Chain A
Amino acid sequence: MRYILRRFGFYVLAAWVALTMNFFLPRLMPGDPATALFARFKGRLSPEAMQGLREAFGFTHEPLLKQYITYLGHVLKGDLGISVAYFPSPVMKVIGTGFVWTLFLAGSAVVLSFAIGTLLGVAAAWWRRGWVDTWLPSALVFVGAFPYFWLAMVALYVFGFTLGWFPLGHAYSDDITPSWSFGFAIDVLRHAVLPVGTVILVTLGGWLLSMRNSMIAVLGSDYVNLARAKGLPPARVALRYAARNALLPSVTGFGMALGFVLGGSLLTEIVFSYPGQGYLLVQAVRNQDYALMQGIFLVITLAVLGANLCVDIFYLWLDPRTRESRS
């Protein structure tokens, strides 16, 4: 329990550091969003409006410390400012929908890839030199070596455009209204197959190999040998004794991958015009929408921290040795 509290404290600290950097970085850059926005309107705004914009963005002439405190207060209240690209929606609202789609897309891709890859790794190590072990790792590493966007576009062209099995883009069909219905769920799943599938395809090999290698090491250990000698059923030896222990290094990797994918689903979302965070980020950059960018960075950072906290707690449950030795 103390361990969890300490980890939690660490993540709160990390979140604060992220917030602070998020505040100072734009202020260290030359120019400011208000000037940028002012320029975008090509002289159609009055100088008074410029002053108003500055205030709206928090770039006032107050001392930096006071600005910083105001900023922290706003963030805690969930107020991240007004989006320029989606004017006049508040950033929080714009990010909200995008975040949900990204969480769904990236989350299911990572979890599925991890689960399938790990199971295949268990199979490859258990039936060493069997067909899974012989063909799959090299095939998947080969596929994983392609640039992702290229693979995604080929998949989109073949399965979406030529064969027409799956829709070409977006999270759901335009002629359907979002609701908690079976039809809508099916529609969303059909739209998710290609983006999720391609991400799984390129990341599967890594999970397979890391699980396979750590499983092979564990299979040679005395306690697995003892489990065999005890006459336990093979399935129990493979899963409860070997895979359970071999999983530990992979779980650490899983925590890191979660964060990476939340930030890195950008390419997927662009190729498949998926309305997630990556797509929003591109819109924000194109429109020099500083508030939106800042908001997205912040949400990604917090999501990564949150995901890692979850993995930490999961690890605690998985490995009893961590329960005492660190507290």
Chain B
Amino acid sequence: MCIDYITDRGPVRAIDHVSLDLERGEFLGVAGESGSGKSTLAQGIMRILPPPAVITGGEAIFEGRDILTLDEEELRKLRWSRMSMVFQSAMDALNPVITIGEQITDTMHAHGDMSARAARDRAAELLEMVGIPGDRLDAYAHQLSGGMRQRVGIAIALALEPTLLILDEPTTALDVIVEREILEEIRGLQRKLGFAVIFITHDLARMLQFSDRVAVFYAGRMAEIGPAEELRTSPRHPYTQGLLRAFPSVHGSTVEMFSIPGTPPSLRNPPAGCRFHPRCPVAVELCSKVSPELKQIGPGHSAACHLAK
């Protein structure tokens, strides 16, 4: 898939030939720095990219149909009933002047006939499921804490029992304890209900803990993808290695913090060859000339690096 942002000074490619596949019921993590295109990809899959972003090529096959070729009405029906999303900021994703109950039930009404009574009961059930008392249906967003709002966001996302749930940095605005609780909640619900998850975050350590597989993005391209356990113990791409060292271990042992020198490149004119080479500690001459292809280096494990074996 390719996604461009059309700007006054020409198109900027935010997602550059990225290819992902996802099994039913799988928990896939997508990691990367700010601006690496993670959220753009998520919105691209849902086809809710705000202008000036335009999907310029590729395909997104979901249950045998290419989402990119669907018309508005087909898309409207597909959205939420089959795939849904939890937004980045729980604060902004809930409408402040509508009760949370209505924001859950209107989804159900939009996708099928349901009596008001039944929808309300189901909404209360959903709230209970994410750990909010069912009698808070008539509450407004401002009456809830940040963690509770994000739980409401999850309840909305699960309202129609989708087969794919996209989490776009769902916990960035929350503190670590609430973050952990919510992720565990999602993991538990996933085991129970069997939906697939695309979990987007910049917190690689957290992601490795929860995901089955992890994809690492750098400057609009995929740097590495593989089983979470393998990425954690033997990352092949220097960028993944750098990212792993940039986060303290979750198990509390004090290690020296390391940060990758430099800043992510501008997507307007990315460096030639491998986009990571200016910041790469092990770059060789080839890296600045030829862009590495994503190549398989183990079962289900690929990396886009000339040096990876």
Contacts and interface: CB of A to CB of B under 8 A. Distances in A.
Q: A and B from one assembly? A: yes
Interface of A: 220-223, 225-233, 236, 240-241, 244-245, 248, 318-321, 324-325
B252 interface: no
Given A225-B48, A231-B78, A231-B81, A245 B110 contact: no
B140 A320 contact: yes
Interface residues of B, number: 30
Contacts of A245: 95-97
B142 A321 contact: yes
A244 B110 contact: no
A241 B78 CA distance: 20
Contact of A229 (B79, B96, B143): B79
Interface string B81-110: 100110111001111111000000011001
Contacts of A223: 92-96
Interface in B130-185: 140, 142-143, 156
28 contacts: A222-B87, A222-B92, A223-B94, A225-B50, A225-B87, A226-B85, A226-B87, A226-B94, A228-B48, A228-B79, A229-B46, A230-B79, A231-B75, A231-B79, A231-B80, A231-B81, A231-B111, A232-B76, A232-B110, A236-B110, A240-B98, A244-B98, A245-B96, A319-B96, A319-B97, A320-B140, A321-B142, A324-B142
A26 to B, nearest CB: 46
A220 B46 CA distance: 16
B95 A227 contact: yes
A318 B97 contact: yes
B85 A229 contact: yes
A46 B106 CA distance: 80
Interface of B: 46, 48, 50, 75-81, 84-85, 87-89, 92-98, 106-107, 110-111, 140, 142-143, 156
A222 B111 CA distance: 21
Contact of B97 (A233, A320, A324): A320
Contacts of B81: 231
A322 to B, nearest CB: 10
Contacts of A325: 142
A231 B110 contact: yes
Top 7 A-B residue pairs of the complex, sorted by shortest distance between their CB atoms: A222-B92, A231-B79, A223-B95, A222-B93, A231-B76, A231-B80, A320-B140
A221 B111 CA distance: 23
Contacts of B93: 222-223, 225-226
A230 B159 CA distance: 10
Nearest to A242: B95
Nearest to B104: A230
Contacts of A320: 96-97, 140, 142
Contacts of A248: 97
B53 to A, nearest CB: 12
Given A222-B92, A229-B85, A245-B97, 11 more contacts: A220-B50, A222-B88, A222-B89, A226-B156, A229-B84, A230-B84, A230-B156, A231-B110, A232-B110, A236-B106, A241-B95
Nearest to A224: B95
B97 A230 contact: no
B106 A232 contact: yes
A244 B98 CA distance: 9
Contact of A230 (B80, B89, B142): B80
A229 B97 contact: no
A180 B79 CA distance: 55
B198 to A, nearest CB: 14
A221 B89 CA distance: 11
